[in-house]
Structure 1
Amino acid sequence: MSKRALLEVIALDARDAVAAAEGGADRLELVTDMAADGLTPSLATFREVRAAVPLPVRVMLRASDGFSAGTPADLLALTDTARALRDAGADEFVFGFLDETGGPDLRALDALLAVLHDTAAPAPARWTFHRAIDRAASRESLRKHLVDLPGLDTYLTAGSPDGVTDGLPTLLTEAARTHSAEPGYEPVLMVGGGLHLSHVPRLLGAGITAFHIGGAARPQGWAGPVAASAVGEWRGELGE
């Protein structure tokens, strides 16, 4: 029997979370402010979502638009936020930062991981390196630099900064390398960013088993909520 494809849905609040769960989502990415492409939600929102649904919740750690961690003070504030979320029970996260050369910002990543993998925490945190990979100077070099970071189990990518349609060749190539378990390609390849239902057959055919949707789950656009029916359409296309 083939493995069930994972469907992750962006949620902004508990209402979104309930609709996503009703539609058949497997996991949530919790963010705020999609005008800035998704920033860190409040502690109150995290607690409300965690109470509303049993789904795993990956919480965005990102304080501003773009893929820079900002100044040392900005990074310190973000690590404080990460610690508060961890203390509130968050155990899955989404983040990723690039330095001025387009490589991974290891200073920022190490600072966050020091908080998320504090020995006092009840369990190791798992995390997704998000679409910063699509803006990296070298995707392959980035993966090699991150290969030993604890808890990294997923890359969220469109294969291109311009979306899945342009990124398909890259996604298909990386899917093959993921299946062969090349060093740096062990994490799950999750496709998102301009993803359409029409892409799904080819991606499934390449063995990709993780999909991420945001606007596609909102018939009214970002001004409206997640619709269970829209999520259900994706669940049906990906297989029950």
Structure 2
Amino acid sequence: MSTRAVLEVIALDAEDAVAAQAGGADRLELVTDMAADGLTPSAATFAGIRAAVDIPLRVMLRLADGFAADDVERLAGTAGELRAAGAEEFVLGFLDADGGVDLAAVERLVAVLEGCRWTFHRAIDRAADREALRKRLEGQPGLDTYLTAGAPGGVDDGLPVLVAEAARSGQPGYEQRIMVGGGLRLDHVPPLRDAGIDAFHIGGAARPEGWTGPVGADAVARWRAVLDAG
């Protein structure tokens, strides 16, 4: 394929960010506390990473483990602080108790983001109805990406769903880019590329020592090479 695939890497700090950029990452997802599956970093952490690299940064908006919005007003305040610090791209996603999208929480944050681009993250993989979620989010300002494994258990389980959703690209509710992440391995890349998917997200795969160690530029470069070969 001629389209260069987007490679997004999770970064916890400036050291991660520098290594990811050196390895060929196109974009970073900034989080803290991976024990809780990635929460919102401080504005100071964002500023330090922003000063260290020049590739796009998407900042997680999430206060607690799970997919409930928790304290929406507190999160809206934090989003405002990040905006004031220069953040321009974000990641968010909330479900209600029934597994539907928490549209009120999403709209509250989107209002603070004022048109910034954002990703709806893997909450979609826990939704009761993926298509209904997409339809309800249709037209939300700035929404340009769904980060998904296709299934709660990861890409191994979700590959058929990802391929089927990619085939619907451009249809109502399916205009956004699919970015695949969650148990993603290099051997998943060829079938996903064949399906027309051109965005990939890695976390632990970019860390030779696992989450206890930093991002490795060589590990990221290995992914970059496979994506470019596709």
Fold match (TM-score > 0.5): yes
Query: How much has 1:41 moved relative to structure 2?
Result: 0.4
Aligned partners of 1:78 and 1:207: how far apart in 2?
Answer: 35
Partner of 2:166: 175
Partner of 1:95: 92
Q: Aligned AA for 1:112?
A: L
Aligned partners of 2:138 and 2:41: how far apart in 1?
Answer: 28
Please point out which of 143, 148, 163 is paired with 2:139: 148
Query: How much has 1:228 moved relative to structure 2?
Result: 0.1
SS in 2 for 1:103: coil
SS in 2 for 1:55: coil
Q: Aligned AA for 2:180?
A: V
Taking the TM superposition and a 5 Å limit, the aligned residue runs for 1:30-109 are 30-70=30-70, 74-109=71-106
Partner of 1:188: 177
Partner of 1:3: 3
Query: How much has 1:148 moved relative to structure 2?
Result: 1.1
> Quick check: 1:205 aligned with 2:194?
yes
**For structure 1, which runs of at least 5 residues remain unmatched after alignment?**
118-123
Q: Aligned AA for 2:177?
A: V
Partner of 2:224: 235
Aligned partners of 2:119 and 2:112: how far apart in 1?
Answer: 16
SS in 2 for 1:177: coil
Query: How much has 1:4 moved relative to structure 2?
Result: 0.2
Please point out which of 148, 155, 160 is paired with 1:164: 155
**Residues matched between the structures, number:** 229
Q: Aligned AA for 1:139?
A: R
**For structure 2, which runs of at least 5 residues remain unmatched after alignment?**
none
Partner of 2:127: 136
Query: How much has 1:189 moved relative to structure 2?
Result: 0.4
> Quick check: 1:16 aligned with 2:7?
no
Aligned partners of 1:15 and 1:171: how far apart in 2?
Answer: 32
SS in 1 for 2:167: helix
Aligned partners of 2:193 and 2:139: how far apart in 1?
Answer: 28
Aligned partners of 1:169 and 1:3: how far apart in 2?
Answer: 22
Query: How much has 1:7 moved relative to structure 2?
Result: 0.2
Q: Aligned AA for 1:56?
A: P
Q: Percent identity?
A: 69
Any runs of at least 4 consecutive aligned residues in structure 1 with deviations exceeding 6 A, and if so which? none
1:17-67 alpha-carbon deviations (Å, 9 max, x no partner) = 000000000000000000000000011110000000001000000000000
Aligned partners of 2:107 and 2:191: how far apart in 1?
Answer: 36
> Quick check: 1:218 aligned with 2:215?
no
SS in 1 for 2:41: coil
User: What is the TM-score of this pair, normalised by structure 2?
Assistant: 0.98
Query: How much has 1:114 moved relative to structure 2?
Result: 1.2
1:78-130 alpha-carbon deviations (Å, 9 max, x no partner) = 0000000011110100000001111110110111011111xxxxxx3000000
Query: How much has 1:135 moved relative to structure 2?
Result: 0.3
Aligned partners of 2:124 and 2:74: how far apart in 1?
Answer: 23
CA RMSD of aligned residues (A): 0.8
